[in-house]
Amino acid sequence: MDSSDLGVIRALVDWVRAGGRAHLVTVVQTWGSSPRPAGSLLAVGGPGQLVGSVSGGCVEDDLIAKLRQGKVAATGPERVTYGVTREEGERFGLPCGGTLELVCEPICDPAVLEPVRAALAERRTICRELDLESGASRLLPADARTATCRVQGNVLRKVFGPQWQLIIIGAAELSRCIAQLAQALDYHVLVCDPRPDYAAAWDVPGTEIATGLPDDVIRARVTDERSAVITLTHDPRVDDLALIEALESPAFYVGALGSQRTTDKRLERLRELDVPEAAIARLHAPIGLPIGSHAPMEIAVAIAAELIAARNGALAKARASVLDTATRKAASAA
């Protein structure tokens, strides 16, 4: 599965290379409850050629019609705003007074975006600067932690980073559920299981399976902060190898399945193996938000929710909110 940005860029390059007309639409700023965040992309080609989204609603219909009729961005980049008035917000499905500012850019030469496509395919981060007056663009190196999209004066800066990836250690039933949810959340999913029977039975479409030792796989594949690692095998010989490597990697999230008792024993083993305390402190275990999950898909939802919170820098707030709700329910039932 491609990342959403890579899918948009790849489509534009292919359409223009085939001789078609195309536009790149970027969400540059939002106010209120906008459906899509700044940095979201939409590729518009010929009839039936759409990839990505800027609102998920009627904004696309109106914008696409204007682009194809030459009413917007006919010769160069153009800024377009939706939802300025209450009437327009209601018309275009923008909730609670939301406002959406877009930059629409005609793409005439595939070479303009080819380096961006190459960078994304190679898991490199790159910044594209677009002059909104002249239409000229240039590419600069960037850090994955840089603000993803902003307009300064007449220059649009959009940071393109590698696709988020989730490495799952263990190829059992729970892994299947998590893999399906993670793909819907725009993760590339790599499942690692050195146990032949489990690896041979893995058949989730769109995912990648690796049969090497977990520490070797993580060392080779976790090279940036857009990676997460979770261990699910219940076998310390497998999970501990992965955790030792993952906890000192750039991964933004490392989690391990197991009860609190299992977690305590795991922490003891990691200390005996001389894993630094600072690294151990990064471990999320027991994994998943505490929402009373039992069935595999319920547990997968709890883990996916924790990944979302961690990715958005809201994990502490999410955990506090869940625990506070549980405490209040317990008090009212007493």
Rounded-to-integer distance, Cα 317 and Cα 319, Å: 6
Nearest to 286 by CA among 308, 310, 259, 267: 259
> Which residue is listed with tokens 């933004």?
252
Give the start-end residues of each E strand in 207-303: 208-210, 227-231, 253-256, 283-284
**Domains along the sequence of the chain with CATH:** 4-160 (no CATH), 164-321 (3.40.50.720)
Its pTM surpasses 0.85 = no
- The reported pLDDT for the residue numbered 1 is 40
For residue 72 the two structure tokens come to: 């917007």
What percent of the chain has pLDDT above 70?
87
On average, the pLDDT of the chain sits at 89
Nearest to 121 by CA among 67, 79, 172, 161: 161
> Is pLDDT larger for residue 98 or for residue 124?
124
For residue 114 the two structure tokens come to: 């080819």
Rounded-to-integer distance, Cα 105 and Cα 159, Å: 16
Helix H segments across 186-259?
196-201, 214-221, 236-246
Q: Is the dihedral of CA 213, 267, 183, 188 positive or negative?
A: negative
Is 92's pLDDT higher than 70?
no
Is 58's pLDDT higher than 70?
no
- The reported pLDDT for the residue numbered 324 is 64
> Is pLDDT larger for residue 329 or for residue 177?
177
Least confident residue range of 47-51, 80-84, 294-298? 80-84
Task: Kindly state the average pLDDT of the residues 246-264.
Answer: 96
- The reported pLDDT for the residue numbered 97 is 56
Rounded-to-integer distance, Cα 176 and Cα 186, Å: 16
